[in-house]
Amino acid sequence: MNNECCSTYRGCAVTTRSVEVAPVSDWAPLSALASTWTRRFTASFSVDPDDTRSDSWQQFPAARFDTRSLAAANALSEAHRSIDMRLAEI
What is the number of structural domains in the chain? 1
pLDDT digits (tens, 9 = 90+) for 62-86: 899 999 999 999 999 999 999 999 9
Q: Per residue in 19-33, pLDDT tens? A: 998 765 555 555 555
Question: What residues contact residue 55 under an 8 Å CB cut-off, 6+ apart?
Answer: 49
DSSP assignment string, 60-72? -----BSSHHHHH
> Is the pTM here over 0.85, yes or no?
no
Helix ranges (H only) for 1-90 are 30-33, 68-89
Cβ 18 vs Cβ 63: under 8 Å: no
Q: Which among 22, 18, 20, 21 is positioned nearest to 5, based on CA atoms?
A: 18
Range(s) of the domain holding residue 12 = 4-24+32-89
